[in-house]
Structure 1
Amino acid sequence: MLGKLLFRYLKKYKWLLLGVLVFQFASALATLYLPTLNADIINYGVAKADTGYIWTHGAFMLLVSLGQILCAIIATFFAARAAMSLGRDIRADVFARVSGFSEREVSQFGAGSLITRNTNDVQQVQMLAMMGATMFVTAPLLAIGGVIMAVRQDVGLSWLIAVAVPVLLVVAVLIIGRMVPLFRTYQGRLDTINRVMREQLTGVRVVRAFVREPIEAERFRAANTDIMTVGRNVGSLFVLLFPLFMLILNVTVVGVIWFGGVEVNAGNVEIGTLFAFMQYVGQIMGGVIMSSFMAMMIPRAAVSADRVGEVLDAESSMTRPENGVTEFAAPGQVVFDDVEFTYPGADAPVLTGIDFHAEPGETVAIVGSTGAGKTTLVSLIPRLFDVTGGSVKVGGVDVREADVDELWKGIGLVPQRPFLFTGTVASNLRYGREDATDEDLWKALEIAQGKDFVSEMPDGLESHIAQGGTNVSGGQRQRLAIARAIVHQPRILVFDDSFSALDLTTDARLRQALWRELPDVTKIVVAQRVSTITDADRIVVLDGGTMVGVGTHDELLASNDTYREIVESQLGVDA
């Protein structure tokens, strides 16, 4: 998956990568050539006290060094451009893929895991691309080229390299092999700590209300300790690896000095050649160490690439039709035709035998006990889930055959738990329609019974809204969410228990304003309070995921036991 992911994205930057290869090649050649120049200066210039030779070759050596530095800088710049672009493109594609997921896929991966995959996992792949681009040529060229150049300097000492390099490779393979499973465990633990942290931040009010701070702190401590343990094990292997590398390198250099000194004393090797051989040994070991460092990065990046690839390869259960229908013959009409829905892996369907319709301008209410399937039912209208049996038609078109964007344009959804985004009141309301004027926003707020409290805010429409709307009350959040749906100007409004935080008076005024100001808009209302839906044109009664009645309030009160029980249980509240 790692190679597939890198090839898929880096092929767009082939010219940058070609520049990296060219300049890294030039930098590596210059690095390999410098010890030879140094040997020549010592062997000939210093030995013969030829000052002119020393200055001439010294200046050339300085020029080669400057060229090597310049090539390395340019190669690193190109590599950074390619790697940063790679990270940007992967993050953009992961975000686009997740945005197309249905609720099913989001629940399957988990919000915390999806965030980790689009940040930390992408960063691991990006770092590998960066390091790989800068070391891809340098490491093998220094290792292989160093061997060749060292042998050219002195064949007699080459046996030291033949011993040191295999020992270095064996150590690297043994230690890196133990790192691979640890990296996979580490990423999983990172998911866990992100999930725990996210839950505690979003549920901070509940935590404090139930005095659960010590327990949540212990829960976080456990997750934190788990990831620390794995990280410590990985760190221990890193700590072990580099000292062993340096030990092998230093022992090899000591061997070169020892046996080379014998050769120099015997007159078989010149001192400059010995120095050059030592430099080449260092370059060879450096190349092998760089390759080992790359090999250490590859397992973690491979794990991260697999996790990113799982998201990119995941097929949303909500498939977009190639030639989706964009024209709706009956705008505002909603028809449930023998609908059945089963969650993946569930033993029994959540909904079965759902069969009703809502004509343009009508109000259809959905009632039932907790867990009856009301939220699941209305989620099928904007196609947050796909039915597993029967069909849902909006505007006379099966939602699975409709163009998704056109379908969503005609539906305004107010979820059970309304969510507001960081920004202002105006920016949140314009989430429904960006070109809405201030007059449109005030009109929507007036219908949603939110005009008064927004007017009292310090900056009116430009008043700040915190993430999730935590700086406004639950009732204000609901009214802002309703106003946002109205600004959208849909043909169908879906209210999923969206009046639960409102007092009875505000609830009544809001419903009257909706019915009065939006007579042509179809309204699908999920409600717990009977008073909210007594005026509905049609009431659908659910019990255990099955329709047990449909009709007006009076008709159901006279003929439906389930509905009558619901009404009687609330008589003391909604009399």
Structure 2
Amino acid sequence: MKQVLHQLGRYRKDTFLCIAMAALEVLMEILLPVITAIIIDQGLEAANLSVVYRYGAVMVVLALFSLTFGALAGKFAASASSGLSANLREAIYAKIQTFSFSNTDKFSVPGLVTRMTTDITNVQNAFMMVIRIAVRAPLMLIFSYVMCLLISPPMSLMFLVAVVFLVVVLGAIMVVTLKIFNRVFQKYDDLNASVQENVSAIRVVKAFVREEYENQKFSKASAKLYQLFVKAEGLLAFNSPAMMLAVYFCIISASWLGAQFIVSGTMTTGDLTSLFSYIMSLLMSLMMLSVVVVMISMSMASIRRISQVLTETPDLKEPEKPVLEVADGSIDFDHVSFSYKQGSGKNALSDIDLHIKSGETIGVIGGTGSGKSSLVNLICRLYDVSEGAVRVGGLDVRQYDMEALRNQVSVVLQKNTLFSGTILDNLRWGNPEATEEECVQACRAACADEFIDRFPDGYQTRIERGGANVSGGQKQRLCIARALLKKPKVLILDDSTSAVDTTTDARIRAAFAENIPGTTKIIIAQRVSSVEHADRILVLDEGRVNGFDIHEHLLENNAIYREIYESQIKGGGDFDQPA
């Protein structure tokens, strides 16, 4: 709760103003039945019209004040709750930017989306009700009961029985529904995951004619959510009957006892009328509180989920005195072991001991799951090692400022991502200050200029969300050009030319040798042709180094490399090369 309320910031003032206005509104409303009693007893029954006019005018003024204070309370409540939700979204989004991959994996993308949408909306609505109704209702309840005590203490004890009955019933309902709402938001995550997976992979779904299967999967997730809501709302439906039972009990009791007190002369007609008003105010306050408790019950589950993100400690921490400059592109793995789940006993990499000189071109090859991507993720510190150390430019990567390190270790990941905007906008992700000429040169080196020039708008061509209007190979080349604009000391291509033909692949490698000779290049590939001309080739097998040498020596001495090479050659070479 502290973490969430801390995000109020400058909207604290609006919160306190709302509470003050709500209190003044209650004060005005509490005085109205008193004035009504005076008008009845001293005006109507005494046939004194001057009293009726005078106190009638007072009632109008009090009602206008009540209306004004209520409107101001609503305005400040809306401002404070909307401000809180806006600040929460910004805080969560900023926090997510500090997360490592392992932190993001812990929550899942659909889970984070639910927290920033449904959960924050629940908190916003609950906060508005808390500062508006949860202030007004208790004050109204207390003041109404005090006025009942002043008018008739014996009858007030009877109303207390009704209040206790309602508190017990509503409390029992809230305890049960709170547990249900905790489960509801977990199901929201499942529903969002189903939608996200389907929409992001809609081409695959349609290609394999799996629409019916996806519809059934979504319907199943939606049905579970429906069942939980029906269960919760079914329990909450008991609020109204319990409330009406208490109301009618109080009205009947007050009518019966009040008639006796009036006959005996211990109570006036005006007092009984005002007593009825206070009874209704008291019970309606309880009803409003029950609604608030429902909202709080729903929001408590959301608050816990939001707090989990805000209190999450990023796995990767900046050093106290970070190094801001990478000396060169040399890379050293000193007996490195790495596991995605600490303590699981399953290592993605085990005892990696490698030493790469600055400016070398290193090929990395191995079967699926051999640890190729895990290896390069450690160089730019997307994850931290479990054992050993990774050094870039002679220093442990944990000594660098992460932004400085990643600006000098440029990575083109397996999954290429482009963003909505022009081609130039996407290229300048690599260097926001890059001129158009520098962007053109980077595209030439990545062999992207040949297809960009064919677009009518050239570098101003708009890329749709996710790069939907360019092919896989074009997307890869744009991502390579974007990485080159950083002018890095280390360039990592994680299977980033898999969607281009071998001729273009060879041209890209030749351009690298000519344009960035001093940059260390690490090329992960499935094709031997992509790595055979590298200075050295690393062969990985089940997270361990199986071989690290030049192409010719590996053919002679390394069984895994020779098997990969022969399977591709005997199979007719690469898919786009003649046998």
Q: TM-score, normalised by structure 1?
A: 0.95
1:308 corresponds in structure 2 to 306
- Please show how residues 463-482 of structure 1 align to structure 2 within 5 Å: 463-482=461-480
Q: CA RMSD in A?
A: 1.8
Question: Residue type of the partner of 2:232?
Answer: V
Structure 1 residue 26, shift from structure 2 partner: 1.0
Query: Which of 182, 185, 190 matches 2:183?
Result: 185
Query: Which of 158, 176, 183 matches 2:156?
Result: 158
* Residues 1:243 and 2:261 are matched in the alignment: no
Output the CA distance in 2 between the equivalents of 1:133 and 1:155: 31
2:330 corresponds in structure 1 to 333
SS at match of 2:238: helix
1:497 corresponds in structure 2 to 495
Structure 1 residue 37, shift from structure 2 partner: 1.0
279-288 or 268-277: which moved more? 268-277
Deviations 1:511-531 (A, max 9, x none): 212222222222111011111
**Contact (CA 8 Å) 1:142, 1:286: kept in 2 or not?**
no
2:89 corresponds in structure 1 to 91
SS at match of 1:137: helix
**Contact (CA 8 Å) 2:365, 2:525: kept in 1 or not?**
yes
Structure 1 residue 49, shift from structure 2 partner: 2.8
2:573 corresponds in structure 1 to 573
Question: Residue type of the partner of 1:487?
Answer: L
SS at match of 1:340: strand
1:415 corresponds in structure 2 to 413
Output the CA distance in 2 between the equivalents of 1:355 and 1:389: 12
Structure 1 residue 267, shift from structure 2 partner: 4.3
1:378 corresponds in structure 2 to 376
Output the CA distance in 1 between the equivalents of 2:239 and 2:493: 61
2:168 corresponds in structure 1 to 170
Deviations 1:330-373 (A, max 9, x none): 32222222211122153332212222233332211111111111
1:25 corresponds in structure 2 to 23
Deviations 1:182-219 (A, max 9, x none): 00110111011011111111111222222211111111
Deviations 1:550-573 (A, max 9, x none): 122122222222211111111121
Identity of aligned residues (%): 36
1:558 corresponds in structure 2 to 556
Query: Which of 191, 207, 210 matches 2:205?
Result: 207
Output the CA distance in 1 between the equivalents of 2:430 and 2:14: 42
Output the CA distance in 2 between the equivalents of 1:573 and 1:561: 19
1:278 corresponds in structure 2 to 276
SS at match of 1:573: coil
SS at match of 2:237: helix
Output the CA distance in 1 between the equivalents of 2:3 and 2:276: 40
1:69 corresponds in structure 2 to 67
**Contact (CA 8 Å) 2:4, 2:307: kept in 1 or not?**
no
Output the CA distance in 2 between the equivalents of 1:15 and 1:109: 34
1:342 corresponds in structure 2 to 339
2:53 corresponds in structure 1 to 55
**Contact (CA 8 Å) 2:490, 2:519: kept in 1 or not?**
yes
Structure 1 residue 84, shift from structure 2 partner: 2.0
SS at match of 1:319: coil
Deviations 1:106-126 (A, max 9, x none): 112111111112222222222
18-27 or 264-273: which moved more? 264-273
2:430 corresponds in structure 1 to 432
Structure 1 residue 385, shift from structure 2 partner: 1.0
Q: 1:497 to 1:163 in 2, by over 3 A?
A: same
Output the CA distance in 2 between the equivalents of 1:488 and 1:249: 73
Q: 1:459 to 1:53 in 2, by over 3 A?
A: farther
Q: TM-score, normalised by structure 2?
A: 0.95
**Contact (CA 8 Å) 2:178, 2:298: kept in 1 or not?**
yes
- Please show how residues 349-368 of structure 1 align to structure 2 within 5 Å: 349-368=347-366
Consecutive unaligned residues in structure 1, runs of 5 or more: none
2:101 corresponds in structure 1 to 103
- Please show how residues 198-237 of structure 1 align to structure 2 within 5 Å: 198-237=196-235
Output the CA distance in 1 between the equivalents of 2:512 and 2:329: 15
* Residues 1:147 and 2:145 are matched in the alignment: yes
Structure 1 residue 44, shift from structure 2 partner: 1.5
2:38 corresponds in structure 1 to 40
Structure 1 residue 452, shift from structure 2 partner: 2.5
